Structure 1
Amino acid sequence: MGRRTVVAVGLSVLALVSACSSDTESGSTEGSVTVTHAYGETVVPADPQRVVSVGLTEQDTLLALGVVPVGVTEWYGEQPDATWPWAHDLLGDARPEVLTQDDGIQFEKVTALEPDLIIGTNAGMTQDDYTRLSAIAPTIAHSDVDSPYFEPWDQQTRTIGAALGKPDEAEALVENVRTRYREAAEAHPEFAGKKAVLLQNAIYDGNAIAYQDGLSTDFLTSLGFEIPSELDAFVQEEDAQAYIPLENLSVLDTADVLLWATESPEDRATLEADPVYSSLQEVRENRLVFTDAITAGAIYFTSPLSLPYLLDSLVPAFESTLAGAGAATTTAPA
């Protein structure tokens, strides 16, 4: 499944801060846990050893909780082992089987991996998918029936932590990320109240695609930024992105800084060749941040591993641009 397709479906429900948590309880079997999700309850035996991630980003949370999956799913980016730089070191010498969702969940390959737990909190899992996967091994789906993709990252972390028998570790992981963002905001009071707009990497079909105030931009608001409400007029359905036609692109002039999730120098060059883009006040005044490909990936992944990585990349760029040093391009942290 392509990144833009999934982004259009569910990126707007990404979260940095959510009060939600999974319903879990001790199971009747000693050491097991029962996890409640969109399709019912799953009893997970204690200490699963062969965990398969059939969703797009769950490998990050598994690795952050000390579990190396035997199978992971490629979303986009073609990273080694479908695992991005912020998480890859945690694989150690392991080389998990890489699955895809190009034609849906690969049930036969999942079966061949002989899992004792299947994680699909960000898999777009249907009831039929869940039934088929549950016949292979205990399966954990998304918690909210309306969020088959990209439930809040902290909710997913708690769900996965509960399934692994590591609820305390999961809670500590969530709190660590929140603390880092809170400390970054406190260290940069100049971000407070500034208006920022996150946009995709290019003009698509005559539209700039921006993200309205909501869960998809919580990483910005957690740093103190505000999202211009003027974007809302270009949102055609709830929880969707704002599709801004070129003739209305001046609405972006309400922002203090534009964050373009570019993935290559060519993306930036293409934008700069557009005369309408070049007419924007932020462009004329160089109040711009462009991302490298890895930082863009971290924005889209929004996991307990990518979010701290994102801080290290974005904060210096925002600091520089808002100090008047001109447009900044992020550099992926080493």
Structure 2
Amino acid sequence: MDSITNAPLSRRAALGAGLAGAAALLAACGSSSSAGSGASGPATAAGSAGDTAWKPVSVKHAFGTTTVEKQPTRIVTVGVTEQDFVLALGVKPVGVTDWYGDQPYAMWPWARAANGDNKPKLLKTDDGFQFTEIAKLQPDLIIGTNSGMTSEDYGKLSKLAPTVPQASTKKGYFAPWYDMLATIGTSMGKSQEATALRSSIKAKFSTAAADHPKFKGTKAIFLQNAVSDGSLIAYPEGLGTEFLADLGFEVPSDIDKYVREGEQAYIPVEQIHVLNSAEVLIWATEKPSDLAALQKVPGFSNLDAVKSGRSVYTGGELSGAIYFSSPLSLPYVVDKLTPKLTKALA
């Protein structure tokens, strides 16, 4: 299983270790899942949102194909962000998995309205999937497109309910949000809603980009909030940077030589000057002490973006929204980040 390359480093390591274990499995209802050759592909649906009666839907994924025979009403999400996708498609999950942030029922501000007064079971992954607790919830669909589950995990979960894992064995976490949305929408029998939702989010970004022509072509780098093992951690083009591209920004290729395979760019503090390749720096700070710590990093105060006021500091909720990259968090990113970027480029 690969690591969570779109998450803060410490949380990525902690969650990766938590998912490595396995728990005992209770005997429970079977699912209509079949193990295949491991080929991955786009979701396919036999039904549509306009149907008055449920039609079985099938989803291809990393471990084969899952068929959902009956309309799901008790959905459990076992990955780190899928609750947002399920809520965005109009269903309140009965069980969700906590990632980080100590949010009530793992619901960040952007998801609370959709969740309403729902109180889902809060699952943990410190010692692997909580198979026993999941079984108690009597799920009729288990969604783990952002869970990094193994084939062994998939086999156990599939005995509880139809289970939809990640699309590819090569990317256990954080596939593009629109791909996860399509897969989850299909499994829920809401393909049309998923397509419409993607279009509305893309339109929101397009409008923001059009309203702020200074964004177009401007070089920007998104970074984590702290130095880790002597390196600053930045996100290269295509790794969790879709929000920047959709606003019109470009990620400079100068940081690519510091990229670890399948991960972020680890820039040694001694090479901090490479960040001058960007006109805007976006730091995923979560609290004031994060900025105070960055200001002590050698060379930080001499960065062009810092000296010219083009360094943006997110705060905890906005950084969380960027990391989640979900149908509910992305509109929040547009609303909260755009004013900061506008001010930086004024």
Q: Determine if the alignment matches structure 1 residue 4 to structure 2 residue 28.
A: no
> How far apart are 1:21 and its partner, in Å?
7.2
Question: Structure 2 counterpart of 1:80, which letter?
Answer: P
C-alpha spacing 1:153/1:6, structure 2 compared with 1 (3 Å): farther
Q: Determine if the alignment matches structure 1 residue 309 to structure 2 residue 332.
A: yes
Q: Determine if the alignment matches structure 1 residue 105 to structure 2 residue 129.
A: yes
User: Which residue of structure 1 aligns with residue 43 of structure 2?
Assistant: 23
| Residue pair 1:37, 1:142 contacting (<8 A) in 2 also | yes
User: Which residue of structure 1 aligns with residue 193 of structure 2?
Assistant: 169
SS of 1:227's equivalent?
coil
| In 1, Cα distance between equivalents of 2:226 and 2:14 | 18
| In 1, Cα distance between equivalents of 2:225 and 2:194 | 32
| Residue pair 1:55, 1:124 contacting (<8 A) in 2 also | yes
User: Which residue of structure 2 aligns with residue 180 of structure 1?
Assistant: 204
User: Which residue of structure 1 aligns with residue 309 of structure 2?
Assistant: 286
| In 2, Cα distance between equivalents of 1:294 and 1:305 | 13
Give the share of equivalent positions with the same residue, in percent.
49
SS of 2:299's equivalent?
helix
> How far apart are 1:100 and its partner, in Å?
1.1
| In 2, Cα distance between equivalents of 1:312 and 1:138 | 36
| Residue pair 2:46, 2:58 contacting (<8 A) in 1 also | yes
User: Which residue of structure 2 aligns with residue 243 of structure 1?
Assistant: 266
Matches within 5 A, 1:29-108: 31-108=55-132
* Structure 1 gaps, min length 5: 11-19, 324-334
Q: Determine if the alignment matches structure 1 residue 216 to structure 2 residue 216.
A: no
| In 2, Cα distance between equivalents of 1:77 and 1:204 | 20
- Spell out, residue by residue over 1:295-328, the C-alpha distance to the aligned partner (whole angstroms, 9 max, x if none): 00001000011000000010000001100xxxxx
| Residue pair 1:200, 1:260 contacting (<8 A) in 2 also | yes
- Spell out, residue by residue over 1:69-120, the C-alpha distance to the aligned partner (whole angstroms, 9 max, x if none): 0000001111000111100121111100000111111111100111011000
219, 237, 244: which one aligns with 1:195: 219
Higher deviation after alignment, 186-195 or 210-219: 210-219
Calculate the TM-score normalised by the size of structure 2.
0.86
> How far apart are 1:273 and its partner, in Å?
2.4
Calculate the TM-score normalised by the size of structure 1.
0.89
SS of 1:275's equivalent?
coil
| In 1, Cα distance between equivalents of 2:184 and 2:14 | 22
| In 2, Cα distance between equivalents of 1:88 and 1:220 | 25
| In 2, Cα distance between equivalents of 1:110 and 1:253 | 48
| Residue pair 1:21, 1:155 contacting (<8 A) in 2 also | no
| Residue pair 1:52, 1:117 contacting (<8 A) in 2 also | yes
| Residue pair 1:3, 1:75 contacting (<8 A) in 2 also | no
> How far apart are 1:24 and its partner, in Å?
1.3
Number of aligned residues:
312
| In 1, Cα distance between equivalents of 2:224 and 2:248 | 21
Matches within 5 A, 1:311-330: 311-323=334-346
296, 302, 306: which one aligns with 2:319: 296
234, 251, 262: which one aligns with 1:227: 251
